[in-house]
Each structure stands twice: as C-alpha cells, then as structure tokens.
Structure 1
Amino acid sequence: MGLLPLNYRRPSYVPGTSRTMSDDQISVGSGGSGSADGEKSSGSLRPTRSATVMGVPDALGFDKIIEGGTCPPCTTRDFMNYLIYVERSAENLQFFLWYRDYVKRFSEAKTSDMALSLEWTQAMEEDAIARIQKEQSEKIRKETKTPAIKIFNGTDFEKRTEFPKAPASDTNPFSSPPQTPYDRDGSSEYVSSTEQSYRSQANEAFTSAGIKAPFTIQPFRKEIDRVIATYIIDGAPRQLNLSDREQKVVLHALAYTTHPSALREVSKLAESILRRQAHPNFIRWSICNGNPARVFFARALGSGLIVISTAIALALTLSGLGRGYRALAAIGWVLGIATLIAAWKGMCVVLHGMHHHHVRPWELFVSEEDADSLGKRSFDSFGSSNSYEEQPWVIRYQKRNIIRKIFDREVWIQEPALRQIQDTIFVQSMLCALLIAGVSTAIFVAVPGGNFF
C-alpha cells in the first residue's frame, strides 16, 4: 500500500463522559481519555450512521471493524479491550452487539405469541415524552407551592432506593436459538432465582417510573428483564449513559412491548457514541505503537539529539574550522526532530522501522487461553460489570520497572491500513525534520566563524 496524502492528520480526540485510567498506569500511547465518572446526560452525540470521521480511512471504518474485516491490532476484540481498559465505556459496544443480534433473533422467531409484542411507534414515543414532561412539570409546581424541609437529608433516615445487582451469568445470549423465553409444557411456572432477581429489578424500575408492570407472557420478556437490570436501571452493572427522561421513556416502551423498536432510540444513542466518539478515539490510540514509557523515552531521546546537535553547531561556529564542518550538526537535527515529532504523535520510530507495537499491558501476563477466556467474557452481553481493577496483571504491571516497560515485548502490526497511516506520519516527520534542519544549518553556515579556538 502507498502513502496517504501528505496533509493527512490523525483523528482528533473526541471528549466524552467515559471513564479512564491514567496513562501512567496502563494506557498504551497517547490516545483516549475522558471525563469523570458518574455523570448522567443524554450527550450531544446524535445518531449519524453515514458520518465520516476525519483521519480514519475506509479500511478502518466502524462497520469494517464490527464486521470483522480488519486485522490486529484493530479488530473488534481490540476495540472492546480499548473500551474496557482505556475509555472504560464498553457497555455501549456490548449493548450494541446484543441489540443487533436481538433484532435478528426477534425477526426470525415465528411463534404464535409474537403478535403480543407490537411495534413501538414514533407516535407512542412522543406521547410518552409528553406525559413524562407533564408529570415533571406538575411535580415541580407542587414542590414550589409546598416546599418540604428535608431535615433528614444525608442521614440514615433518608429514604433510599437501591436496586440489587444482578448476579453474573455464564449464559451467552448469542448462542440461544430463536425462541420465546419460556417453556410451553407448563414448566414456565418455575422461575429460577436468577430470573426472579432480574424480574424483581425490572418491576421495581417500572414501579419507580410510575408504570404498571407488563405482561410476562410476551415473547423474550425474560431477556428484556435482564436488559433492564443490566443496562437501564440506576446502579446497573453496565448502566448506559441515559438521561432521566430517556430512561423513563425506554421503560415506558419496554412495559408496552418486547419488540426491538422499544429500544430503538437507546440503540441509536449507543451507536452514535461508538461511531462518533469511541471509534475515532480507538483509531487515534491504535496509531500509537509504544507504551507511555517508550514514547516518553523517544521524546527525551529526540530532545537530547537536538540539544547535542545545537551545542556541536555552536562549538564549530565559534572555532576556527571551516564552515562546511558546521553542516555535520544537520544529521543530529534530522534524527532528533523526526524522532520528537513522531513521538509527539505517540510513535516510536524504532518500533515503526520494524512495523511493531508493544503488547498491551493486559496481555503481557496471561496465556493465550486465558486471553481468549477474558475476551469471551467481555463479549457476554449479560456479564458482570466491566471493572478490571482486581485483575492480577494490574498490580504486576504497576510494579514493573521503567526499563522493562520501555523494552516491553513487541508484536508485528498485521493491519495494512494502520501501517499505511504510520508510514505517512513517519514521512511527514522526516520532511519536517529536513526542512527545519536545512534552515538551521543554513543559518549556522552563514554566520562568520568566531576563531576563538
């Protein structure tokens, strides 16, 4: 593959409400960080499926990655790992993959009870929004007229509503055949403790939103209960970043039907965040071929070469040697400036020369079998939370000395489009270095000699 246009610029970082670890802990390269944890907002990102992202070639597009058309380190699994360990917002991708599979399974189900789950229309959506806004307005009006003095705020007497976390399940929804989530031989009367927990949490969510509990005989109702307990309610292990109004609207929709259209707006929001925030940040992060220690080392090396070359040029200028000797400093300037510019973009020119990148910290201390097991769990739509702080590798990597981090294990970059981007950045760095070094050399050569020694 050839180079990209020389005016190419890598994707700009897109800030969001995702949570991150600090770079000095595990992040590889200079990409991907977000704001603090705990914010609930609808976000400014709205669904735009056809939107193009500057700096991302078609070969590394969002759909290409999701469909499995890319190679390491830009696969769907790499994308999921990035969202778990760097941006800490993997719930959007996990929900997106589940919803896409759910739509397929729902459309393929041909049972007689499918008529019980009618489509949630746009008119219903607007009506639910209007009712919620009216209820909120009336609530505010009542509070304004009769303000209550909450003397027990912050004490043990304050009423608190907490939803118990759903226990982790090893069931993979992607392996289930298209069918209704209950048995027809009378055994549906038996409900496991896990299913009862999901149903209880879903019913509590409906009640708190002022909604009547839905029919349990609708197809896929048990799976929808798990979705509510995992992604929708406050305190859910993989709670999506929904506003209070969006949360209530989707609960209204899910109380009415289990049709995929009930989750249409939530899916659009999650997809939009993935396409317009997470995906470009992932590509920006993937361009970085070295970990923070290696990139810092490269910056220091580049700066050191520039300083040493400048000192040599000054010494030659002040000496009685001929002007031509001063041009020798250009070699150090070119190498130093090119190294510094590349490192500023998260690249180590030595690693680039071999088209290598450092192994990610979470992959350093695990076998291939353990890595595959962790990867499968991350793609489990109804697993536990995406927290990883207690994983053994975190402490082991933090205790790793700086020299070992600089010279961590390397692997070859298989994705051609990513190598093309890195080649382009390297050429840009060399051209800038040649230009700056040429101007600096011309200045030093033109200055009269000092003849001091």
Structure 2
Amino acid sequence: MSILFYRRPDYLSRPAGPINHKDCQRYVERAKKSERIIPDGLSFDEIMNHHSLPPCSLNDFMDYLVYIEHNAENLQFFLWYKDYCQRFEALPEREKALSPPFYPETADAPDLSRGRDMEKDTVKKHKDNDREKSGYKSNGAALFSEDKNTPSPTRPAGEAFEHSFETPSASEFSSIPNDADVAAQAGLKWQPFTIQPMREEINRIMRHYLAFTSPRELNLSHKDRALCLHALQHTTHPTALMPAVKIAEAALRGQSHPNFIRWSICNGNRPRVFFVRTASTNSVIFGFILAIVLTLSRKSRWWRIFAAIIWLGGFSATVAAYKGLCVIMYFSHSRALRPWEQNLDEELTDVEVDRRGSSASDQRGAQVSSSDGPQSQTPPDYVDSNATTQEDSQQGYSRPTSMRSFGPKNSYYENANWKSRYERKSLFRKIFDRETYTQDPALKFLQDRIIIGAVIWAVIITIPLTVVFVALPKGNYYG
C-alpha cells in the first residue's frame, strides 16, 4: 500500500430499490478492492469475530449502521444466522435429519412481483398462475465462505449471540405479521405444527426479516424473498436462507464495512475537523504574508525560510483534516466521543444534573438487585449498550435494541431525543467535545499512514514555494 497515495475506501450510497443479484455481484467486486486497502486487523471477519477494538469493534459497527447508515437489519440478520448455523450443527444427528438441506432443482417459488400490494390480496386467495419457475440452485455455501457444508463462519468458542425471546409489546404485535400473513405472501399452505428443530425460531425470523411490512424487513428482491419463504416451508436447514444471507453479507462486505472503516478513521466530529481545517488554512495564509513581507524588506533572503516552517505545519494539518483527522487528537491517540456515547445531561444546570443523577442511581441499584434470567447471563461482548433502560427513559433517551436478533423496528432518529440535545450544545462545546482513547492498533496504523502522507505532500508543496521566495530579490522598501 502506497503511503503517498493512500486513500480511504470510497463512500458508497445505499441502493434505492431492492438488492438483486446484479447488485450483489457489484458488492463482491467492491469488497475485493476494499480488502487491498483495509488492513487485516480491520477486516470484516475480524470485526465479526470480536478481534477488533473500539472504535472499530462489533458494537461500534452496529452503532454506525443504526445512527449513520440507517441500515442495521443486514447485520442483525447476519449475526443471528451465524449463531443459528453454529447451534444447528450442534444438534443431534437424528434432529438434523428432520431438516435436510434445501437443494431445489426447479424451485416452484411464488411470484411476489406485485410487491406490498400482494399483502392484502393473498391473505384471502392464491392464484396458481402467479408462480414462476426459478432455476436457483443452492450449493449450501455462503457468498464469501470457503466451507461448502457450513454456510457461514462460526464464532469463536465461548461466544454466543444474544437471542431476545422476550414477549413483544402491544405495539410490536401490531407491526409483526403472523404466520398466516407470511404464508399468504408466499402463496403457501402454512403448516403451523412440525417436528423440525428450531421451527418456532424460523417462524419468528420470517415474521421479523422476510415478510412484507415486517419490523426489520430485509432489502430483498421479490424473487429472493419468495425463494426463502418457499424453502423455509420445507426445512429449517440454514441453506433455506441462502438467498437472503448472500445479499445481506454482500451488502455488509461491499458497502457497509468499507464505509464504516472510512468513517472510523476520522477522530474528530465535523465542527472539530472544520475548526482544524480553518486554522491550518489561516496558518498557510499567514506563511504567505510572512514570506511576502520579508521579501519586500531589506532583510536577508534566508529569513524567508521561516515561512517554510509555517507552511509545513499548515499544509500537513490541512491535508490531514481533508482526510478527517485532527492532528492534535492524533498525537494524543484520542478521538472525540460520538453524540450517542455522551452524557448529554451535562448541558443541564447543576441542580438538574444532581437531581437526575441521584434518581438514576436509585433506579440503577433497583435494576441490579432485581435483574435475573437471560439478561444476567448475557456474555459481556454482547451486552446491548443501546437497549433502552429505565434510566434512559427518565433522561429522555430512546435507543434501539440493536444487538438483539428479535425486537422492534429500528427507529433510528425518529425517537432519538439525544439528537436534539446534542444540537442544543454550543459550537464551542462541540469543537472541544469530550475525548476517549483510540484502542485499535490497526486503526492507528491507518491514521499513521495518513499523517505520513500528509507530511510528504506538505514537503512536496513547501519546498518549491520556499525556493521561489528565497530566489526573489529583496524589495528594499523598509527595515
């Protein structure tokens, strides 16, 4: 990787419509190009296996998808699928034999080309002529997996994804389609009772991710959605979900992951980076003024070399700020806290902070004393830092339960009161926001290369300017 010409992965916008197989192949090509730029320590697999550290951990990746890209469903579904493959392979052979792999030679999948309008019509009737022949052949291998038998790489031993099997609220029930609706959308005669393993969990996945108007509906084409629903009627084997998994994984690897790395390189927020860029530009302008003043004076021409020192620092900071780096925070190995990571109650009066803090402490103590069940057994790496707690509710926050496989619709900014609180902060407080230590060494390595490249570019620009001003004759106008 060239230091001088290093660049971050290109920013890729979200597709406007459903992701089809053509888009999927384009994501594959983009993922291969990004692999040559992104270090191995920040690769997609390293993040999925919890080998990266903040600000590039799996929780940070999920926060980025929730708060920045607004496309968290793919990762939520992919994490569940990884854990589902691991748990399915751990089943006894007699249970796995009840759900054989799905290898359709000619999949008679229903036609969902009428889109969401079909949700109302197909509940009552199903037309045989709305079916289309599909030549999809599942080979049981994920898009980026080398193992033909296991659709996705498994998580390291001892780590398990958090499955939230809590009873949904009334608002969730109103938005989650039931089994009859899912079956009607797929044009199938649903069989609610089966001896296949994990059938109830598969039904919930269909209601949460695959059905139209589901809370976390995946951005699938009508054909891929029909293939999944048709396959899941016959088996609960992981291969039945391959059309959805391929598209979700391709979008994560080819779009979301490069964008996340590009976004994580920036160690400051927008006001801070803009402030640094303005200050460095003014420094460059001051260097020109100093060089011109010394050139017009009677001073020795060698005094003009002092302008080169100012130019070198100014151009270096400008190029680094263009890449999203604050040089001051870089040398302190820190980064600005994201708005959702901050305690925004600090903007309130001291009296309000003390009152809310004492109330929150009492509530937190009550929660700790009364916590039991699956929540107390959640592994540390999968503690949902975004889950809405009683303390958050009292303080006005509303955070999505993003690290849970089942839950309400990702609300993103609709109910995020922290956003309005952050916007009320003064510009000065935003520029000098709270900082935290950058832990991931691979990310520091990327930042090092950007700073080195910025210095090299500054030297390349400064040397010719210095030579030109030193070569100019003295003006002899003053001093």
TM bin (shorter chain): 0.7 to 0.9
- Tell me, which stretches of 5 or more residues in structure 1 are unaligned? 18-34, 140-157, 164-172, 182-191
Provide the residue aligned with 2:374 in structure 1.
none
Partner secondary structure for residue 407 of structure 2 = coil
Taking structure 1 as reference, are residues 198 and 373 closer, same or farther at Cα in structure 2, changes over 3 Å only? same
Q: Distance in 2 between matches of 1:414 and 1:243?
A: 40
Distance 2:292 2:173 in 1: 79
User: How far apart are residue 196 of structure 1 and its match?
Assistant: 8.9
Q: CA deviation at 1:216?
A: 2.5
Match of 2:51 in 1: 69
Tell me which residue corresponds to 1:44: 23
Does residue 1:382 correspond to 2:364, yes or no? Answer: no
Distance 1:248 1:77, change over 3 A: same
What residue is the counterpart of 1:406 in the other structure?
A: 431
Identify the residue that residue 204 of structure 1 maps to in structure 2.
181
Query: Does 1:102 pair with 2:84?
Result: yes
- In structure 2, the residue corresponding to 1:347 is in which secondary structure? coil
Q: Alignment partner for residue 230 of structure 1, among 194, 203, 208?
A: 208
Q: C-alpha displacement at 1:299, in angstroms?
A: 0.8
Deviations 1:205-239 (A, max 9, x none): 22133222135213322211211111112222211
**1:452 offset after TM fit, Å?**
2.8
Q: 2:28 and 2:286 mapped to 1: Cα distance?
A: 50
SS at match of 1:378: coil
CA distance in 1, matches of 2:183, 2:175: 12
1:386 & 1:409 partners in 2: Cα distance?
A: 27
Question: What amino acid is aligned across from residue 184 of structure 2 in structure 1?
Answer: T
Structure 1 range deviating more: 361-370 or 84-93: 361-370
Q: Of the candidates 280, 296, 299, which is equivalent to residue 258 of structure 2? A: 280
**Paired residues, number:** 384
Whether the 8 Å contact between 2:339 and 2:418 is mirrored in structure 1 is yes
Secondary structure of 1:374's partner?
coil
Could you say which residue in structure 2 is the equivalent of 1:127? Answer: 107
SS at structure 1 position matched to 2:35 = coil
Cα offsets for 1:327-383 (capped at 9, x unmatched): 221111111100100000000000001111011110002799899543463211001
Tell me which residue corresponds to 2:8. 11
Deviation sequence 1:183-218 (CA, Å, 0-9, x none): xxxxxxxxx999998995232122133222135213
SS in 2 for 1:327: helix
CA distance change for structure 1 residues 216 and 193 in 2, over 3 Å: closer, same or farther? farther
- CA-to-aligned-CA distance 1:104-137 (integer Å, 9 cap, x gap): 22222228554442321142xx5236x64xx96x
Could you say what secondary structure the match of 2:436 adopts? strand
Moved more, 212-221 or 70-79: 212-221
Flag the structure with more relative contact order, 1 or 2, with Cα contacts below 8 A and sequence separation at least 6.
1
* 8 Å Cα contact 2:9/2:259 also seen in 1: yes
TM-score by length of 1: 0.76
CA distance in 2, matches of 1:82, 1:195: 24
Indicate yes or no: 2:70 matched with 1:91: no
Q: 2:19·2:220 contact (CA, 8 Å) conserved in 1?
A: yes
SS in 1 for 2:335: strand
Residue deviations 1:7-43, cap 9 Å, x none?
A: 46243224142xxxxxxxxxxxxxxxxx66xx32326
Kindly indicate whether residue 191 of structure 2 is the aligned counterpart of residue 214 of structure 1.
Answer: yes
List aligned pairs for 1:320-335, cutoff 5 A. 320-335=298-313
Q: Which one of 416, 426, 429 corresponds to residue 391 of structure 1?
A: 416
Paired position in structure 2 for 1:428: 453
Q: Are the aligned partners of 1:10 and 1:56 in contact in 2 as well (CA < 8 Å)?
A: no
Instruction: Name the structure 2 match of 1:446.
Output: 471
Provide closer, same or farther for how the CA distance between residues 197 and 106 of structure 1 changes in structure 2, counting only shifts above 3 A.
farther
TM superposition score normalised by structure 2: 0.72
Cα 1:81–1:287, aligned 2, differ >3 Å: closer, same or farther? Answer: same
CA distance in 1, matches of 2:118, 2:42: 50
Aligned pair 1:301/2:279, yes or no?
yes
Q: Which runs of 5+ in 2 are unaligned?
A: 123-159, 345-359, 368-381, 388-400
Q: What SS is found at the alignment partner of 1:45?
A: helix
Q: Secondary structure of the equivalent of 1:6?
A: coil
Compared with structure 1, are the counterparts of its residues 326 and 194 closer, same or farther at alpha carbon in structure 2 (3 Å cutoff)? closer
- Taking the aligned partners of 1:450 and 1:373, their CA distance within structure 2 comes to 68
The corresponding residue for 1:248 is 226
Match of 1:356 among 334, 337, 340: 334
How far is the alpha carbon of 1:399 from its aligned partner? 0.8
Task: Tell me the equivalent position of 2:154.
Answer: none
CA distance in 1, matches of 2:177, 2:217: 17
Matching residue within 113, 117, 129 for 2:99: 117
Write the distance in 2 (CA, Å) between the matches of 1:207 and 1:292. Answer: 48
Distance 2:119 2:184 in 1: 15
How many angstroms apart in 1 are the aligned matches of 2:5 and 2:198? 48
Once residues 193 and 404 of structure 1 are traced to their aligned partners in structure 2, the CA distance between those partners, rounded to angstroms, is: 40
For the 8 Å contact 1:77–1:375, the answer to whether it is kept is no
Q: Aligned partner of 1:379: which letter?
A: M
Superposition CA RMSD, Å: 3.3
Q: Which residue identity is paired with 1:45?
A: C
Q: CA contact under 8 A between 2:335 and 2:436: conserved in structure 1?
A: yes
Q: Counterpart of 2:443 in structure 1: which amino acid?
A: L
Check conservation: 1:94, 1:379, Cα contact below 8 A. Answer: yes
Residue 312 of structure 1 and its aligned partner are, at CA, apart by: 1.6
CA contact (8 A) 1:309 1:330 kept: yes
